[in-house]
Structure 1
Amino acid sequence: MKTVCTLLITVLFFTVALAQETVGGKVIRNTKDQTYNRGEEKASETVDKALDKVEEGIGSIFKKKDKKQKNKKNNGKDIIGSSEPTNGSSSSTSNSGSKNIKVYSKFDFVPGEKIIGFDDFSTTNLGDFPLDWNTNSSAEVVQLQGSDQKWLFMTKDGYFQPEFVSDMPDNFTLEFDVFTRYRSNNILEYQLYLASSSNPKKDLSEEYLYDYIQLKWAGCEGSSKFYVVENNEVVNQNENLNIKDFGCGNEGTEPAFVRISIWRQNSRLRIYANENKVIDIPQAFNSKQKYNVFKLGTKYMNFSETENKDEFMVSNLRYAVGAPDTRSKLINDGKLVTRGILFDVNSDVIQASSYGVLKEIASALSENPTVNISIIGHTDSDGDAASNLTLSEKRAIAVKNILASEFKIDSNRMQTAGKGETEPTDSNNTSLGKANNRRVEFIKL
């Protein structure tokens, strides 16, 4: 028995050693416990099966890992999942409420009504670079364990530009998720730009242009800076910003998830990190320039050798024409359509970042106490029609409930209905079209 145990242990360690080398030419720290999945799922499954066979052979000597628990750790570190901040459809999970929505009580951001650019990387294969983006560096689409959300993982220094964000109107909103973890050195830096360029492809690699707005922050730290440049001259700056949301916990091993929201209204610029407004500049945009470039940048990634490589990812980029005048649309026109009330995927739980939109609607209703409304939910066509109909009805009820409970609007003034996927305003064949179809309508009665 002792000889058999020794042999089995030797086989186990040999198999684990193989699993920690390479799969498909890419280095994997531990195939059984990957933080994110690239494109090697099938190879990983093969190694998993081999390891499971060895574990089964050992029997009672080693207790076999529970499958559900196995995916929660990576080299001893917790794996953090992330819900998608989009109005996902398909089957319904009833909650009819909000998730910590009061946290966003000072959040006055209102997303644009018409989405003109959207990318959640759902149509990009794991391990690939999205077709609608440009770069002078390298990146790939990955997934975090325990989540279907896809992320663009920027693995090297350089710039990354979604080409569908161009010719920015005088009123627009731009939102995206950022994931950061680890900090290999004290000069690691991440950046975002809004810029004017005569040749965006040619200028992709340029850190500084003649007219631009730049926000930069130290990797996994709150230390941040911004610059407003016109005609190659700095006209506004703050090099002592402290944006705590960018900080990673536990010395950089716990990731930071930040929803960045950018709002332009003519010359005014507001930038939010989660619920916190971090920049509000009345004269940020130069009215004489056409801003046509948005790009993200990384500097000094993995500048020094450490066990954990720097992680910088983005997801769920939403680019929309500026928000409508809520009061005019609802009270005077009799109809308001919003795509800014967001729900958890396959759920009627309203995301906390919807607070600004709900507050605007509640203000219009409070100022016009004789106005009654019908709240109508719509979904995209993902999933079956019956489930989508039920989901849209529950989402409409959730909106009514939050207006009544949080904003004290008389529930008798509000009716609800759901249309499911039956009344699309855009194609359901693209991510952009689906994002436009997921909406809530308010009809004056």
Structure 2
Amino acid sequence: MKNLAVLLVAIFFGYSSYSQSNTNSKFDFISGEKVIFFDDFTNENLGDFPANWNTNGSGEIVNSDRFENRWLKLTKQGFFIPEVSEDFTENYTIEFDLISEKPYEGDIFSLDMYLLSGDLMNPKGGTQPGEAGFRIHPSNSSITWNNWSEAREWQGDEGFVDYTFKSGEINRFAFWFQKQRVRLYINNNKVLDLQRGLNKGYKYNIFRIDSNSDDLTPLVGNYRMAAGLPDVRSKLLTEGKLISYGIYFDVNSDKIKEESIPAIKEIASVLSENPEIKIKIIGHTDADGNEASNLKLSENRSNAVKAVLNRTFAIDNGRIETEGKGESQPLAPNNTVINKAKNRRVEFVKL
């Protein structure tokens, strides 16, 4: 009945429509290689609204009794936009954590997520803002989506995918946009893969979250946007060096997160196909904390990546050297959260 209802709505309004079941396919998400926006809210005061975001609602930076790090709590309905001034390019990723603290029967988050072609300094409201856009709405047990554009007289495509959310848990959203293609991953599962998710002919330059309720106050954290995906083979074999931002660790730990496996797998594939190649893995940190501790942490993290390459992908340990540089070789000044994110990285150097 749900499929029929979506189809009838599509016919009535002139949309083309189809549904897509939850694939839960093998997780293959890899973060972009150039960080163009990052915010974990650590550089700002609790209770404030973050300086690098815009809203016509209300929100505040908070700590949580149950979850580490800081969070942006969406306290009043409205739009919430990270102000990214750099070009998104045609290939980029957007990642963030989302928590609903309150159980609710109707809508666990009561929000929409948009990718828009529009004016960053003059965001418009309504259900179809901008010159063109793509929207998803995550509810308790499904995700609905639709797109639109001026060129198509505000019509477009729409569909849904089954997915069950739970309140009181961290949900990691990861979008991968490649020209018109839209892929969405949640908690290491691929839940959407739309070859024509975006309408062509538009420059998409705004990602925004709209809160639709004053009662539900979800938390947003660890927001990261990066442009361009690394060509691992070319970088490592031809240029001799690859910088990876797709390998994640627990805070102040060398424990590798599960979502890092696709990035490490890409390295392993190159090494497997080129058995004569040897590499050095170099860990880097930002300048927060003690210098000696950062050096040790970077060493441990490079060794942890080596262990995954050996144990999971059978790459001979004799082909891998490791080193930690700590905070000693920054790529940017350690003066903003975005620059600190650029400095936290793992490098692979061909020997």
Please say whether Structure 1 and Structure 2 have the same fold, judged by a TM-score greater than 0.5.
Answer: yes
Distance 1:429 1:287 in 2: 38
Which structure 1 residue ranges, 5 or more long, are not aligned? 1-103, 249-254, 303-309
Distance 1:206 1:161 in 2: 15
> What is the aligned partner in structure 2 of residue 137 from structure 1?
57
Tell me: CA distance 1:180–1:272, structure 2 relative to 1, closer, same or farther (3 Å): same
Report the 3-state secondary structure (helix = DSSP H, G, I; strand = E; otherwise coil) of the residue aligned with 2:76: coil
The residue correspondences of 1:92-103 to structure 2 (distance < 5 A) are: none
Distance 1:194 1:277 in 2: 18
> What is the aligned partner in structure 1 of residue 335 from structure 2?
429
Deviations 1:352-401 (A, max 9, x none): 11111111111111111111111111111111211111111111100000
Kept after mapping to 1: 8 A contact 2:309/2:315: yes
Residue 179 in 1 paired to residue 113 in 2? no
Report the 3-state secondary structure (helix = DSSP H, G, I; strand = E; otherwise coil) of the residue aligned with 1:205: coil
> What is the aligned partner in structure 2 of residue 30 from structure 1?
none
Q: TM-score, normalised by structure 1?
A: 0.70
Of 41, 55, 67 in structure 2, the residue corresponding to residue 121 of structure 1 is 41
Distance 1:271 1:107 in 2: 11
**Cα offset, 1:234, TM superposition:** 3.5
Distance 1:195 1:301 in 2: 24
Which structure 2 residue ranges, 5 or more long, are not aligned? 1-23
Distance 1:182 1:312 in 2: 8
> What is the aligned partner in structure 2 of residue 85 from structure 1?
none
> What is the aligned partner in structure 1 of residue 300 from structure 2?
394
Deviations 1:232-258 (A, max 9, x none): 43332113x2122x233xxxxxx1211
The residue correspondences of 1:318-397 to structure 2 (distance < 5 A) are: 318-397=224-303
The residue correspondences of 1:219-258 to structure 2 (distance < 5 A) are: 221-231=140-150, 232-239=153-160, 241-244=161-164, 246-248=165-167, 255-258=168-171
Distance 1:137 1:236 in 2: 29
**Cα offset, 1:223, TM superposition:** 2.1
Residue 170 in 1 paired to residue 170 in 2? no
Report the 3-state secondary structure (helix = DSSP H, G, I; strand = E; otherwise coil) of the residue aligned with 1:202: coil
Deviations 1:273-311 (A, max 9, x none): 111111111122333111111110122443xxxxxxx23
Residue 343 of structure 2 aligns with an amino acid whose one-letter code is N
> What is the aligned partner in structure 2 of residue 10 from structure 1?
none
Kept after mapping to 1: 8 A contact 2:245/2:345: yes
Report the 3-state secondary structure (helix = DSSP H, G, I; strand = E; otherwise coil) of the residue aligned with 1:435: helix
Distance 1:163 1:138 in 2: 16
Kept after mapping to 2: 8 A contact 1:192/1:295: yes
Of 202, 205, 220 in structure 2, the residue corresponding to residue 289 of structure 1 is 202
> What is the aligned partner in structure 1 of residue 313 from structure 2?
407
Residue 205 of structure 2 aligns with an amino acid whose one-letter code is N
Distance 1:165 1:234 in 2: 28
> What is the aligned partner in structure 2 of residue 81 from structure 1?
none
Residue 266 in 1 paired to residue 183 in 2? no
Distance 1:267 1:130 in 2: 31
Report the 3-state secondary structure (helix = DSSP H, G, I; strand = E; otherwise coil) of the residue aligned with 1:392: helix
**Cα offset, 1:132, TM superposition:** 1.2
**Cα offset, 1:155, TM superposition:** 1.4
RMSD: 1.8
The structure that has the greater radius of gyration is: 1
Deviations 1:82-132 (A, max 9, x none): xxxxxxxxxxxxxxxxxxxxxx99211110111011111111211110111
Kept after mapping to 2: 8 A contact 1:392/1:418: yes
> What is the aligned partner in structure 2 of residue 280 from structure 1?
193
Distance 2:203 2:241 in 1: 32
Residue 223 of structure 1 aligns with an amino acid whose one-letter code is S
Distance 1:105 1:386 in 2: 41
Report the 3-state secondary structure (helix = DSSP H, G, I; strand = E; otherwise coil) of the residue aligned with 2:333: coil
Of 33, 52, 70 in structure 2, the residue corresponding to residue 150 of structure 1 is 70
**Cα offset, 1:183, TM superposition:** 4.1
Identity of aligned residues (%): 43
Deviations 1:41-63 (A, max 9, x none): xxxxxxxxxxxxxxxxxxxxxxx
Kept after mapping to 1: 8 A contact 2:47/2:61: yes
Kept after mapping to 2: 8 A contact 1:270/1:279: yes
Report the 3-state secondary structure (helix = DSSP H, G, I; strand = E; otherwise coil) of the residue aligned with 1:311: coil
Distance 2:67 2:144 in 1: 32
Deviations 1:398-438 (A, max 9, x none): 00001111111111111111111111111111111111111
> What is the aligned partner in structure 2 of residue 193 from structure 1?
114
Deviations 1:115-160 (A, max 9, x none): 0111111112111101111111111110112655110000122111
Distance 1:424 1:416 in 2: 18
